[in-house]
Amino acid sequence: MRVLLLLVIVCLNGCSLWPSQEHRGLTTQSIEALLAKQCQGPTEPSANDQQQLAALQRIQTQLDMLTAATPGFTNSVCSEPAKSHHEYEGKVIVGANEWIYLSPPGHHYQARVDSGAATSSLSAMDIEYFERNGKKRWVRFRLQHDDEAEAITVEAKVVRHVLIRQASSPEPERRPVVSLTVNMGQDLRYDTEFTLTDRSQMAYPILLGREFLRDVILIDVSRQFIHPKYIPQDSAQLLLPKGKTTQVLHTVMN
């Protein structure tokens, strides 16, 4: 009997919690009204919204006028400065082998760049001393720039002598030193002292040593012929016919 009474009470409570027909109708009407409002589309902007929109339009107009006045400003791109393959930290880079233009005789030669050698040397054959104007001591020698071309006779003033010790001779050999102008590329131009010696058995007739480097040149031994051949600008530096005799351009004044 008590169990039956409890079931009756639970059922009556459940019925009291279930929404009435009037309540369900009110809720349905609210949802339908909200959906209808959303389907009507956006409402008209308020006066405040219209003022903000007008202000933004004025700012955009001013930006368009500034852009038209400076057309290269908006699209300009700051490019990185071009890095030269011939320079590093202010020093000129040269390869292990380079083309040089030697004056005299006014020819291009392949030279070996070697920081292990203190001085530069030049392949000279048939060296002959002679005097000019009875005072200065000069030398005349033949310079062979390759196996096929005819040797060129060069005359230059002797600036000093050096002693060269050869492995095949116990006594040092006295060698003349001359000063010639070296052009490498279009930017490097040095008056360089060369020791005259026989380099006929060497791969290159000219060796550029540390004195030529002068603390402004770096050697990249992994590269060669970095600099293009020098193009003479002066007619006095044009190539001489083969077999002709040439002499140093900076003649000593008596």
Torsion-angle region of 88 (φ positive above 0: left; ψ -120 to 50: alpha; else: beta) = beta
Band of pLDDT at residue 84, cut at 50, 70 and 90: low
Answer positive or negative: Cα dihedral of 117, 223, 180, 152: positive
Check residues 47 and 208 and name the one with the higher pLDDT: 208
Band of pLDDT at residue 207, cut at 50, 70 and 90: very high
Check residues 178 and 249 and name the one with the higher pLDDT: 178
Assess if residue 110 is contained within a domain: yes
Element at 67 (helix H, strand E) = helix 47-69
Assess if residue 15 is contained within a domain: no
Q: Are 117 and 207 contacting, i.e. CB atoms less than 8 angstroms apart?
A: yes
Percentage of the chain exceeding pLDDT 70:
65
Instruction: Give the pLDDT score at 2.
Output: 53
Check residues 86 and 211 and name the one with the higher pLDDT: 211
Check residues 122 and 64 and name the one with the higher pLDDT: 122
Q: Are 95 and 114 contacting, i.e. CB atoms less than 8 angstroms apart?
A: no
Instruction: Give the pLDDT score at 178.
Output: 95
Assess if residue 19 is contained within a domain: no
**Position 135 pLDDT exceeds 80:** no
Q: How far apart are CA 162 and CA 176, in angstroms?
A: 7
Q: Are 118 and 210 contacting, i.e. CB atoms less than 8 angstroms apart?
A: yes
Q: How far is CA 7 from CA 1, 2, 4, 171, in A?
A: 10, 9, 5, 135
Q: Are 68 and 60 contacting, i.e. CB atoms less than 8 angstroms apart?
A: no
- pLDDT tens for 30-75 read 777 766 666 665 566 677 878 888 888 888 888 888 777 765 545 5
Assess if residue 206 is contained within a domain: yes
Q: How far is CA 119 from CA 50, 122, 162, 184, in A?
A: 85, 10, 10, 17
CATH number at residue 125: 2.40.70.10
Check residues 13 and 91 and name the one with the higher pLDDT: 91
Q: Which two tokens stand for residue 177?
A: 């030193």
Q: How far apart are CA 60 and CA 220, in angstroms?
A: 56
Q: How many domains does the chain have?
A: 1
Assess if residue 22 is contained within a domain: no
**Position 22 pLDDT exceeds 60:** no
Buried/exposed code over 131-156 (b: 16+ C-beta within 10 A; e: otherwise): eeeeeeebbbbbbbbeeeeeebbbbb
Domain span holding position 146? 102-232
Q: How far apart are CA 153 and CA 142, in angstroms?
A: 4
Check residues 243 and 221 and name the one with the higher pLDDT: 221
Instruction: Give the pLDDT score at 233.
Output: 75
Instruction: Give the pLDDT score at 203.
Output: 85
**Position 92 pLDDT exceeds 50:** yes
What's the angle, vertex CA 151, arms to CA 145 and CA 154, rounded to 5? 95
Instruction: Give the pLDDT score at 35.
Output: 66
Q: How far apart are CA 252 and CA 193, in angstroms?
A: 16
Assess if residue 221 is contained within a domain: yes
Assess if residue 35 is contained within a domain: no
**How many separate helices (H) and strands (E) can be counted in the chain?**
5, 13
> In the predicted model, what is the mean pLDDT of the chain?
75
**Position 27 pLDDT exceeds 70:** no
**Position 253 pLDDT exceeds 60:** no
- pLDDT tens for 149-169 read 678 899 999 999 998 877 777
**Contacts of 131 by beta carbon, 8 Å cutoff, 6+ apart:** 137, 138
Three-class SS state of 230: coil
DSSP label at residue 235: G
Assess if residue 86 is contained within a domain: no
